[in-house]
Structure 1
Amino acid sequence: MLRRYWDPFEEIRHLQREMDRLFADFFGETTAIEERRGAYAPAIDMYETDENIVVKAELPGFKPEDVDISVTEDSVIIQGETKEEEEVKRENFYRKERRIGRIYRRIDLPKPVVPDKSEAVYKNGILTLTLPKAKPEKLEGIKIKIKEEK
């Protein structure tokens, strides 16, 4: 007898995707939504060191050439596509949980970075982005004389 197991966390992930889509539609991110229709967002960790912002993304089953990364001063976009390795008839499946298809994730960064000095390393299904933080511009203050109006 084939049993189906209910995964409550998948229900929560589905609700989160729907809420993300609702907010993106509301705030006018239509181009991003159109680009990622049918895509799922990989899980990430993001942290800061003295010199860098580091982003780690789970991309199991992807080859580096299947992933496209775009970096701007204030955001990172990770997108890609993986295809099914082999075709197996549906009636022979007992379980199919691995995801195939498109991924899309836009990550807003907490501080400005230098895009052209960013690096990406892919190892064991984890993509690690090292994004050097931009040096804050020091603006010199200018003294302004106050005129008294009579």
Structure 2
Amino acid sequence: MALRDLIPWSRQENRLPATVEPEREAALESHPLLSLHREVNRLFDDVFRGFGVPAFAGLGRTASWPQVELDENDTEIRITAELPGLDEKDIDILVEDGVLTLRGEKRAEVEDKKRGYSERSYGRFERRIGLPRGIERDKAQASFRNGVLTVTLPRSAEANENVRRIPVNAKAA
């Protein structure tokens, strides 16, 4: 088998997918080099999935933890973060220079020597979220319930004065 047989296009056919006869396709499927290629791809997908990097096939966790949800209206900005397995004493919340910082540490419940296998993640985390101008940081509030942190940041009256609504005219196009 030539290495060219593994390439899905042919240079002479303007890079269109190459056609393979059905009996030859069956022989290619059982070829050891092709099998090795599939196993190496699977191995790399598993390794990258373990580090929190999305796998090549689009599977896996996102790289930023904790996952947050932002909701805003004219009076406040509400940020919700999922922090399962943590207590309020494990979390620090800071507002400084227009940035909300969520930081903390998730500790293991048992020593490493006693754990046989674990897919849970432990360690320190920090998530920084940029905030718009006009936040009253002195009136900020936070609550923590059932592993969900909610931070409420009220907007100042001046922040709403700088907003201008622009009407949409559908017939102007």
Return the TM-score normalized by structure 1.
Answer: 0.61
CA RMSD in angstroms comes to 3.2
Q: Give 5+ residue unaligned stretches, structure 1.
A: 18-39, 140-150
Q: Does 2:110 align with 1:68? A: no
Aligned pairs (5 A) from 1:11-90: 11-12=53-54, 17=63, 41-72=65-96, 74-89=98-113
Aligned residues: 112
More helix by share: 2
Identity of aligned residues (%): 33
Q: Does 2:150 align with 1:128? A: yes
Partners of 1:63 and 1:41 in 2: how far apart?
16
Q: Secondary structure at the match of 1:61?
A: coil
Partners of 2:76 and 2:135 in 1: how far apart?
8
Return the TM-score normalized by structure 2.
Answer: 0.54
How far is 1:80 from its partner? 0.8
Partners of 1:68 and 1:88 in 2: how far apart?
26
Partners of 1:135 and 1:89 in 2: how far apart?
56
Aligned pairs (5 A) from 1:97-108: 97-108=119-130
How far is 1:50 from its partner? 2.7
- Aligned structure 1 segments of 4 or more residues deviating by more than 6 angstroms: 13-16
